[in-house]
Structure 1
Amino acid sequence: MKAHQKMLVGIVLGTVAGLLAHWLAGDSAWLSWTVTNITQPVGRIFIRLLLMLVVPLLFSALVMGVCELDLKQLGRLGAKTFGYTVVLSAISVLLGLVLVNVLQPGAGFSQEAIAAARSNPSALKSAPTPSNTSPAALIVSMVPDNPIRTAADGDMIGLIVFALIFGAGLAVTQTPAALKLREVLQGLYDVMMRLIEGVLKLAPIGVAALLFSVMAQLGVEVLGSILSYVAVVLLALGLHMFGVYSLAIRFLGGRNPISFFRDVRLAMVTAFSTASSSASLPTALKVAEENLKLPRHVSRFVLTAGSAMNQNGTALFEGVTVLFIAQVYGVPLSLGDQAVIMFICVLAGIGTAGVPAGSLPVIMMILGLFKIPPEGIGLILGVDRFLDMCRTTLNVTGDLAAALYVARGEPDDPEPSTAPAESSAS
C-alpha cells in the first residue's frame, strides 16, 4: 500500500473505533483506562517525535532559505521578492483569521466534551509569557539575548529572528569556513527531512491512536466541525487564489489574470498532485520561461527562493488550524494573541519545508506557545493530505505570481543561457 493509502486506513480505523467506543461505552472505566494508558501514549509518542525535530529543522531551513537569496549579487531582486512575500503572506493569514473568527468552525462543542479534552496534560512546553505586552516591549522581546536559552524556553519567535539574522550574516560571509558551515547546515536540514520522513511512516498508527482518543471523548459531534474546518480552509484558499492573486497579477504584474491562470495550469496540476512545492519546482520553471516568457535570471531566482520561502497557502493554513483547535478546546485567544500567531505564521512560512506535511511541526510549536492541547492535531491529520494538496497549489501559483511581479520592469536576460534549467529543489 502507498503511504496515503496507509494513512487513510489509520484514519478510518481510528475514527470508526473511537465513535463506536463513545457510543457503546460512554464514560465507562474501561474506555477511560484504554484512552489513558494505550491510545493517548501512542499518539503522544508520535507527536513528541515530531516536536523533537522542530528546533533543528526550523533553524536550518530558515538559515538556508535566507542564504539562497544571495544578498550580495541579487539585492534588488531579493528585496522585491521578500517584500512581496511578506505582504501577500500577511494578507493570506489575515484572511484566514477573519474567516475563522466570523464562521467559528470549532465552536459548538458541549462543555462536558471540552472539559474532558482540556483535562489531558499538554505534551508541549509553552514559552514564557512576557510581563509587558506593549508593542514596543514585544518588539524588544523578539530579539533574543541568548538564542540557546530562547530555544530551550520554547520562545520560537526569538529563535526565528535569530535564524534570520544568522542566515543574513552567513549569506554575506564568503570565507572558506563560512562556506563549510553552510554545507553543515544544509546537511543538518537534509538529516531532519529524512527523520521527518521516517516519523511520518509511523503516521498511520499515530493518527489512528490520536483519532480514537479524540472521537472516544468527543463523539460524533466532532465530525461536523471537521467538515466546517475544511470548508473554511478551502474558502480562504479560494479567496486568496482567485481574489488577492488576481488583483496582484493585474495591478502588480500587469497581466490578465485569466490568461495567467491558463498559462500556469500545468504547474498548478503538478503542485496539487505532488503536494510539494519543491517537487513542483522544475515544472514551475518551465512554465515561467516558456508560457509566461519571464527572464530566466528572474524566474530561476524567484521560483527557487519561493519554493522555500513564499508559502502563502501554508501560512494561511497554519493560522486557521491553530485558531480552529483553540476554538475546539475552548482556549481563548485575544486579538493580541492572534496578531502574534499571524506574525509567527508569516515568518515561519519562510522556513516551512516545501514537502508534504511540512507545516505540521510549525503548528505543533504554535499550539505549545499558546497552551493549546496538542492532541487536537489529531482532528486535522485525517484531512491534512487533501488540504496539503490545495495549499501547495496556492503556494506554487503564488511563486509564479511573485515572479511575474519581480520581472516587471526588469531587463531581459543579460546574456544567453547555455545551461539547462535547474530541476532540483533547494
Structure 2
Amino acid sequence: MTKTKKGGLPLHWLMLIGFVVGLAGGLAVNMLVGPETPWVVWVTSNITGPAGQIFLRLLFMLVIPLLFSALVVGVAEMGDLKSLGRAGIKTLLLTIVVSSIAVVIGLVMVNLFRPGDGVDPALAQQLLAQGAEGAGNIVENAPESVQLGQFFLDLIPSNVFTAAADNQILPVMVFALMFGIGLVMAKSPNTDKLQTVIEGILEVTMTLINLVIKLAPYAIACLMFNLAALFGWDLLVRLAAYVGVAVGAMAIHMFIVYPAVVWFGAGMSPVKFFRGIREPMVVAFSTASSNATLPVALRAADEQLGLPRKIARFVLTVGATANQNGTALFEGVTVLFLAQFFGIDLTITQQLVVMLVCILGGIGTAGVPAGSLPVVAMILVMVGVPAEGIGLILGVDRFLDMCRTTLNVTGDLVLATVVSRGEVEDPVVEDDPRPTVAAVA
C-alpha cells in the first residue's frame, strides 16, 4: 500500500482527508460569506488556485513522455507475436474490441443519465472562463457532423513534435503505436538497446509521476476549496450521481459483457470462470494495482482455469499494461461528466475523439494506483474542460480506482481464457521455473 513516508498514512487516506478538508472549507465559505467576498477572491486567486494549478501542470508536463513510452513499450512487448502467431493477433484484436465496448457503455450511460447536469450555468461558465486560458484544445472547433475523411487524416501527424507541442495527443499516440510496431519489425541488437532506453524513459516518468501524486492531498484540498466555495451543495449531489453512473457502467461490463465473452468466446461457464478468479479479483480491489495483482492472476490462470502457461503469461503480462477496459471506461465517463458539469455540450465528433483517446489511453496508462490521472487531465484540456475539474473526482478516485482495477484484471483473465481456446499446453519440464510468477511480482 502506498505511503507518503515510513509509518505515515496511506496516500489514498491523505487524499481523502484533503478532499474532506477542502470540501468542508469551501462549503463553509459558500454558506457563510459567499464566494464573491474580497478576501475569498484573494485566497482563491493567489493561494489555492495557483497551488492546484501547479499540481495539474506537473501532470501535464509528464503526459507526453508517459503515453509515448508506455505505448511503445506495450506494443514492443508483443514482440512474441511472431512466435505466438494467431494468439498474439487474437490478443490485440480482442483488446481493441472489448475496450471499445467498455468505453461505449460508459459514454451511453453518461449521455443517458447525465449526472453532471443541474449545476447553475452562470457559476459553471464563471469557472469555465477562468480555466480556459492556456488550454490546448484540439477539438474545440470540431464540426457538428462527423467528417470521417478529415478525421482520419488528422490522426496522422505531419510533424509529431508540432503535434506534441500543440497538445494533439491522438496523433502522438498514433505515432507511438507505429513506432512500437516498427520496433518489433526491425528486431536487432540495436533496436533491443533502443527499447531498453524507452523502457528507462518510462521508468523515469513513472518515478516522477509517483512524486507528483504525493502532492495530490494538498492539491485536492485547494481544488475542492475553490469548487465547493463556488458551487456549494450542488457539488455533492453531482458527485454522488457521477459515482453511481461510473459504478453502474462498470457493473454492466463486469456482469454482462465479460460473461458473454467467456461463454461465446471461450466456451467456458461464466460461473466456473468467476469462481476460479476470486483471489485475483480480491487482490485487485484491495491494492488498486494491476501490476501488483499480476502474480496472483498468473497463478489463478494456471491452477484454477487450467490455461496454457505460455499463453497465459503472454496475455496477462501484456494485459497488465495494454488491456485496461476499466480504465478506458472510467476515463470516458469522467470526461463526459465534467463536460456536463461545466455546461460544455460535446459534439459526436468530440465524443468519438474522447472514445479513441480512452481506448489508446488504456494502453498507455500505468498499472499502478491513480495511474490514469495524467491521461484524464490531458483529455480534459483537449475538450476544453477546465483542468480544475479533476479536483471533483480525486476525492472519490480511490474507490473508483479499486473498482476499475478489478475490471482491468478480470478483463485480462477473460482475454487469456478466450485466447487460450484451442491452444495446446506446453509439455511440462521437470525444472520448469515456476518462479516466473514470483519474478513478475
- Paired residue type of 1:51: F
1:125 pairs with one of 136, 149, 173: 136
Percent identity reads 49
Q: Aligned pair 1:392/2:402, yes or no? A: no
2:89 pairs with one of 69, 79, 84: 79
CA contact 1:278–1:355 (8 Å) conserved in 2: yes
For residues 81 and 260 of structure 1, the distance between their equivalents in structure 2, rounded to whole angstroms, comes to 18
Q: CA deviation at 1:364?
A: 1.2
Q: Aligned pair 1:357/2:367, yes or no? A: no
Alignment of 1:3-22 (within 5 A): 3-22=11-30
CA contact 1:44–1:375 (8 Å) conserved in 2: yes
Secondary structure of residue in 2 paired with 1:157: helix
- Paired residue type of 1:31: V
Q: CA deviation at 1:414?
A: 4.8
Q: CA deviation at 1:259?
A: 1.4
CA contact 1:311–1:395 (8 Å) conserved in 2: yes
Q: CA deviation at 1:236?
A: 0.3
Q: CA deviation at 1:175?
A: 2.1
Secondary structure of residue in 1 paired with 2:83: coil
Q: CA deviation at 1:334?
A: 1.1
Q: CA deviation at 1:263?
A: 0.7
Q: Aligned pair 1:403/2:403, yes or no? A: no
Q: Aligned pair 1:413/2:426, yes or no? A: yes
2:48 pairs with one of 39, 62, 71: 39
Q: Aligned pair 1:315/2:325, yes or no? A: no
- 1:173 aligned residue: 186
Q: CA deviation at 1:415?
A: 5.2
1:371 pairs with one of 373, 381, 384: 384
Give the count of matched residue pairs. 426
For residues 424 and 260 of structure 2, the distance between their equivalents in structure 1, rounded to whole angstroms, comes to 24
- 2:299 aligned residue: 286
- Paired residue type of 2:135: L
**TM score, norm. by length of structure 2:** 0.94
2:58 pairs with one of 49, 62, 68: 49
RMSD: 1.5
- Unpaired runs of at least 5, structure 2: 1-8
For residues 376 and 209 of structure 1, the distance between their equivalents in structure 2, rounded to whole angstroms, comes to 12
- 1:25 aligned residue: 33
Q: CA deviation at 1:423?
A: 3.6
For residues 171 and 439 of structure 2, the distance between their equivalents in structure 1, rounded to whole angstroms, comes to 31
CA contact 2:311–2:416 (8 Å) conserved in 1: yes
For residues 17 and 315 of structure 2, the distance between their equivalents in structure 1, rounded to whole angstroms, comes to 39
For residues 287 and 135 of structure 1, the distance between their equivalents in structure 2, rounded to whole angstroms, comes to 43
Q: Aligned pair 1:163/2:176, yes or no? A: yes
**TM score, norm. by length of structure 1:** 0.97
- 2:5 aligned residue: none
Q: Aligned pair 1:247/2:256, yes or no? A: no
CA contact 1:11–1:204 (8 Å) conserved in 2: yes
Q: Aligned pair 1:150/2:159, yes or no? A: no
For residues 137 and 236 of structure 2, the distance between their equivalents in structure 1, rounded to whole angstroms, comes to 28
1:378-405 residue CA offsets vs partner (Å, 9 max, x unmatched) = 0000000110000000000010010000
- Unpaired runs of at least 5, structure 1: none
- Paired residue type of 1:59: F
Q: CA deviation at 1:116?
A: 2.1
Q: Which moved more, 1:382-391 or 1:252-261?
A: 252-261
Q: CA deviation at 1:366?
A: 1.0
Secondary structure of residue in 1 paired with 2:266: coil
Q: Judging changes above 3 Å, is the alpha-carbon distance between structure 1 residues 423 and 62 closer, same or farther for their aligned structure 2 residues?
A: farther
Q: Which runs of 4+ in 1 moved over 3 A?
A: 128-133, 414-417, 422-426
Secondary structure of residue in 2 paired with 1:119: helix
- Paired residue type of 1:3: L
CA contact 1:313–1:391 (8 Å) conserved in 2: yes
Q: Which moved more, 1:141-150 or 1:393-402?
A: 141-150
For residues 321 and 184 of structure 1, the distance between their equivalents in structure 2, rounded to whole angstroms, comes to 33
- 1:226 aligned residue: 239
CA contact 1:116–1:217 (8 Å) conserved in 2: no
Q: Judging changes above 3 Å, is the alpha-carbon distance between structure 1 residues 415 and 76 closer, same or farther for their aligned structure 2 residues?
A: farther
- 1:98 aligned residue: 108
